[in-house]
Amino acid sequence: MKLIRYTAYAAEILLALTIQSVPYLLPTVFGEKALLLLPLALSFAVWEEELPSAVLGAVCGMAADLSFSGRVGFFSIFFVIACYILSRLMADYIKTTCLTAVLAAAAVIVLVLSVHCIIFVGDTGFFVRHYAVRILYTLAVMPLFYGLNKAVMARTKRSMV
Amino acid sequence: MKKRKKRFRTLAAVAGILLVLVLLTAGNGYVYDLVTGSVLTPLMQTAAQLGNSFAPQKSMEELKQENSRLQAENNRLNDLLADYDDIKEANQELSKFFDIKQEHQDFVLATASVIARDPNENFGGFTLDRGSVDGIAPNMPVLTEKGLVGWVNSVNVHTCKVTTLLSPEAGIAAADKACKENGVITGSAALADSGLTCLTNIRQSSKIAVNDILVTAGSGVYPANVKIGAVRYLTVDSYTGMPMAVVEPFEDAQEVSSVVIVKRFTGEKQ
């Protein structure tokens, strides 16, 4: 059943990458698109253990890096660390609910995209005009991925019983 | 006797009416047409409709066969129409780039389509459907019929990424066609929002003016005389204090869907 679950995750990653990259497929909000791979990786981390979360974070991060710059680096590193920490927190310290998942995701999304703006743009006005909208749009899809992967986990774990 | 007189009067009356009608309709048939048309035409139309309902009908089998034949013909024509639309669109795209080839006959060109725009791409960069298998290499100029769009930043087997003029990474040698002044096109985050870029490294005594056309200077990386944009206004760089021209590129990098990559040109640095 793990195979089925990871196959579902792989399909989600491919779908998210395609939807966020292909022009006119994802609606824009004030000219900005959501970075779908980030909330997707965090939704994996909410339900999976630390090692699988880190690996899935790495895969999502590499996909985001290859789409953005063609070189693996920024997103891969951040996604791995964020997914590992989130998975650990959800397992040991925080009760897993939609609200806690969204709040945790909000902290990560703000941090990742803020650092991205500092490194690759370095303009405060640009952050306000573009990244703020991008952060909100990216966060808005988190509940969707949370629910989706909750269902995936429930189905595959039920099948194991 | 009385009966004869009566018959004669009747005959004379009929002849008289006929004579009147002959005289009325002589020369043109307007009156005749007016009278008969007003009365007879509606009657004939109604009769014709009634008559059609009695016309011999096709059998159900014949109707089914005819329907199938017409559907097949319709599908064939729809397929031809779809092909026609595709060919027409391809022709329109290629005819735009024919002008580039006419203007720069030494260019070896490859057409490409935009297949992806990353959400984290801040300066209009995009991914094209051409890669190393198509002979694409980094630093190749990318343009449309309107002008320079950017350059190939990185290449994969089947795709390549393009960075546009709006990016701060740009460093394109440019020349003003009017006053022959040189400078360097480079983008900035502040101007990229408005789809503008800037010309820097220009002299204090520069004669560059608003509305001047800028073209590539032909540095060996980019071919010469490729249109870039027009000077929108002149200002001073806040960091260096040197004069700077804000440039509006002729092509909007955010909206392009198909471009041309210059694979080779005369004067290219190897």
**pLDDT at residue A101 in the model:** 95
Residue B91: predicted pLDDT: 83
What's the pLDDT at A161? 42
Q: Is B263 on the interface with A (CB under 8 A)?
A: no
In angstroms, rounded to a whole number, what is the distance separating the alpha carbons of residues B213 and B94? Answer: 25
Which one has a higher pLDDT value, A19 or B9?
A19
Contact B119 A120 (CB under 8 A): no
Give the model's pLDDT for residue B13. Answer: 80
Judge residue B248's burial from the number of C-beta atoms within 10 Å of its C-beta, 0-12 exposed, 13-18 middle, 19 or more buried.
Answer: middle
Q: Is the pLDDT of residue B237 over 50?
A: yes
A67 or B7, which is more confident:
A67
Rounded to an integer, the average pLDDT of A5-18 is: 94
Residue B126's nearest CA partner among B152, B90, B100 is B152
Residue B170 has φ and ψ, to the nearest 5°, of -65, 145
When comparing pLDDT for B89 and A140, which is higher?
A140
Contacts of A70 in chain B (CB under 8 A): 153-154, 156, 161
- β-partners of residue B173 are B184
The alpha-helical segments, DSSP class H, found in chain B are 2-25, 30-52, 60-103, 189-192
Residue B142: the pLDDT is: 95
For A102, list phi and psi in degrees, rounded to 5.
Answer: -65, -40
Q: What is the mean pLDDT of residues B27-44?
A: 60
DSSP E strands: which ranges in chain B? 108-116, 126-128, 141-143, 148-155, 160-164, 172-176, 182-186, 197-200, 213-217, 224-236, 243-249, 258-264
Residue B48 has pLDDT above 70, yes or no: no
Mean of the per-residue pLDDT values of chain A: 91
- B116, B154, B192 member nearest A22 (Cβ): B116
Look at residue A129 and tell me whether its pLDDT is greater than 60: yes
Residues of A with Cβ-Cβ distance to B116 under 8 angstroms: 21-23, 67
**Closest to B200 (Cα-Cα) out of B244, B233, B232, B249:** B244
What is the distance in angstroms between the Cα of B145 and the nearest Cα belonging to chain A? 21
Higher per-residue confidence, B10 vs A54:
A54
**Chain A residues touching residue B118 (CB < 8 angstroms):** 20-21, 67-68
3-state secondary structure of B81: helix
pLDDT digit string (tens) for A76-87?
999 999 999 999
Q: Between residues 13 and 72 of chain A, which touch chain B (CB distance below 8 Å)? A: 20-23, 26, 32-35, 64, 67-71
Joined together, the tokens standing for residue A27 give 């609606």
Residues of B with CB below 8 A from A22's CB? Answer: 115-116
**Confidence at B35, pLDDT banded by 50, 70, 90:** low
Query: pLDDT confidence of A70, banded at 50, 70, 90?
Result: confident
Nearest to B116 among A21, A123, A126 (CB): A21
Residues of chain A above pLDDT 90, percent: 75
Average pLDDT over residues B187-195: 88
* Contact: A23, B127; criterion CB under 8 Å: no
Average pLDDT over residues A60-65: 92
Residue B140 CA to residue B153 CA, distance in Å, equals 8
Contacts of A118 in chain B (CB under 8 A): none
- Classified as helix, coil or strand, A54 is helix
Structure tokens at B217: 């200077």
Tell me if A125 and B189 make a contact (CB, 8 A cut-off). yes
The neighbouring-strand residues paired with A123 are none
Indicate if the pLDDT at residue B196 is higher than 60: yes
Point out the least confidently predicted range of A11-15, B82-86, B169-173. B82-86
Q: How far lies A116's CA from each of A55, A73, A121, A153, B191, in Å?
A: 21, 12, 8, 31, 19
* Cα(A19)–Cα(B183) distance, integer angstroms: 40
Tokens 């490729």 locate to B226
CB contact under 8 A, B122 and A134: no
- DSSP 3-state assignment of A73? coil
Whether B122 sits inside 8 A of A71 (CB atoms) is no
| Inter-chain residue contact B119 with A126, CB threshold 8 Å | no
Q: How remote is the C-alpha of B115 from its chain's centroid?
A: 20
Inter-chain touch A70–B154, beta carbons under 8 Å: yes
Q: Which of A22, A30, A37 to mutate to test the interface with B (most CBs of B within 10 A)?
A: A22
Backbone angles phi, psi at B224, to 5 degrees: -80, 155
pLDDT of residue A160: 46
* Model confidence at A39: pLDDT above 60: yes
> In this structure, what is the dihedral angle of CA atoms A129, A133, A134, A140, given to the nearest 10 degrees?
180
